[in-house]
Amino acid sequence: MSVALGRIEGMEALLDHLEGAIEQARAVVIGELGNGQILAASDDQVVRALTLAAELQRLTDAVLVESVGEVVRRSAGPDRDLRLTARRGCHDVSELVQRATRMGPASAARLQRGAKGVALGESLSGGALPALLPAMRSVLLEGEVGIDGLIAVSGPLEAMSQRVPLESLRVADAVLAAEASGTGPDGAPPVCADLLRVQAQAWAAALDQDGAEPKEEQAMRMRGVTLGVARDGVVPLRGVLLPEVAAQFQRICDAIGSPRVGEGVSFRPEGEGDGEPGGVVDDPRTSAQKRHDALATALSVAASSAQLPTIGGAAPTLVISVRAEDLVSDTGWAHVDGIDEPVSVRAATHAGCAGVIQRVLLGENGRIHRIGTEERVFNRHQRRAIALRDGGCIIPGCGVRAAWCEIHHVTDHAEGGPTHTDNGVLLCWNHHRFIDHGGWKIRMNRGVPEVMAPPWIERNPRWRPVTTSRTRLLDIVGRRT
């Protein structure tokens, strides 16, 4: 009886302290930050404020995790009416947590995951049973680790808890808790959540030799990609990839996003050394946009590789239809086979420049009057020659290799531009797709591509020959030396 009374009194003390701390913190935060005082703070003060607020957040995480763990325990009884969630009029734990904390469902789910490994149990006599990960619970209550670090450790350790001896699990728990608090044997400072995740996965791999196969089976069941319905000009993409597939995709992104991008590119013409500083090309795309464009490039290369299965005897071909008058005037809409929402004429222009054009004459009633022959844009022999000349995307600073590039008609095919090496240049998917709106200008000068930078890159733009072909660069260097 005295033990239970002591616990109640302890919780009352905690609640009184939290209420007082909240009111005090609210008054200080409003008073000291409300009028923008942080603008006058020193660098040390800003960083110190960040550090102290994070420590306070970790202590708050401890209270949240403990409370959510107890909510879960009290909402798991066989009698639904006696569950805490039912007594509070909530459908489940997530709803109760969201209502009490004003969090979203993702944050509520994270608290539940974190609570699994550190929540106390209750014995038949009413006493407390130790948590699965007592060391991590200890550093959580001390404010040394927050919810991110807790989940980073508890996830891998909990997954193998049924397959490895408890004493081995507790060894890993103790070592990782020491690393989280900076009290490890190597004397290293506290590690962040990402490093804790890496170390926890290493422990799981070492202790759980039999866990790879069932995890692989689970991963195979979970893998998948879903295309949503087109809306506002985009199609939502959702899903999860197997690790090796994700790694391959990342390698493709790395290959297309050359390290030269963003290093700065001189626009000084060949043979000129006037000492003027060169312009710097900054890629305005976000990381997510770069991954999208890398995927678009990979799909385009795969579809044109002749290695994919055929559909109706032909390679998997993206079919885009547009009225001839709309294509000439650059107005109206185009339609992609398989997508309900129309796309811009710019998309049709891009597809026509990089692929195959077939003209179909329809009557007013929709009857087909005439079918033209397919016009292949640049054959493989022309492509090899252009790749030898250009070496890669000709936009300075891009660096996407020739194998990943498309061939652009400098004078548009719809305007009578010939399918000739003197009218084709290499452009990556991104620069090809947005060449008419990115500010770069391209022309051919006696069979040599020249570009002009946008005014925001160079104060006085001018035409300059470009090449990234190693063979031609060696030839230029040879002439100069």
Position 217 scores a pLDDT of 72
C-alpha 471 chain-centroid distance: 36
Q: Is the whole model's pTM more than 0.75, yes or no?
A: no
Question: Can you give the pLDDT at residue 288?
Answer: 85
Q: Are residues 56 and 146 in the same domain?
A: yes
- pLDDT tens per residue across all 481 residues of the chain: 455 555 677 788 888 888 888 888 888 888 888 888 889 899 999 999 999 999 999 999 999 999 999 999 999 888 888 999 999 999 999 999 999 999 999 999 999 999 999 998 877 777 788 999 999 999 999 999 999 999 999 999 998 888 899 999 999 999 999 999 999 877 788 989 999 998 998 898 888 866 655 666 777 788 888 888 888 878 888 888 877 777 778 877 877 765 444 333 344 444 444 433 344 456 677 888 888 888 888 877 776 666 666 555 555 566 767 776 766 676 777 777 766 667 766 666 666 565 555 656 556 666 665 665 555 567 778 888 998 888 888 988 777 888 888 888 898 766 778 888 999 999 988 888 888 777 889 999 988 899 998 887 777 888 988 866 666 655 555 555 5
d(Cα 380, Cα 378) in Å, to the nearest integer? 7
Residue 281 has a pLDDT of: 52
- Last residue of one domain, picked from the residues 332, 349, 376: 376
Residues 63 and 198 in one domain: yes
| Whether residue 443 sits in one domain with residue 385 | yes
Is 253 inside a domain boundary? no
Q: Are residues 461 and 411 in the same domain?
A: yes
Whether residues 66 and 144 fall in one domain: yes
Per the structure, how many domains does the chain have? 3
Residues 6+ apart with CB under 8 A from 407: 353, 354, 377, 378, 382, 383, 386, 424, 425, 426, 427
For residue 12, tell me if it sits in a domain. Answer: no
CA distances (Å), origin 291, targets 243, 298, 429: 16, 10, 12
In a domain, 170, yes or no: yes
Do 436 and 354 lie in a common domain? no
Distance CA 161, CA 128 (A): 20
* Among 208, 242, 267, residue at a domain's last position: 208
Last residue of a domain, one of 208, 238, 258: 208
Same-domain check for residues 181 and 328: no
422 with 360, same domain? no
pLDDT at 163: 86
Is 23 domain-assigned?
no
**Shared domain check, 193 and 337:** no
355 shares its domain with 432: no
In a domain, 243, yes or no: no
Q: Checking phi first, is residue 124 left (phi over 0); if not, alpha (psi -120 to 50) or beta?
A: alpha
User: Is the Cβ–Cβ distance between 452 and 444 less than 8 Å?
Assistant: no
For position 83, what pLDDT does the model report?
A: 93
Same domain for 62 and 193, yes or no, is yes
Q: Are 398 and 261 in contact (CB under 8 A)?
A: yes
CA 351 to chain CA centroid, Å, is: 26
Q: Is residue 228 part of a domain?
A: no
Does a structural domain hold residue 229? no
Asked whether residue 365 falls in the same domain as residue 403, the answer is no
pLDDT of residue 271: 41
Range of the domain at 328: 318-376
- Is the residue at 121 inside a domain? yes
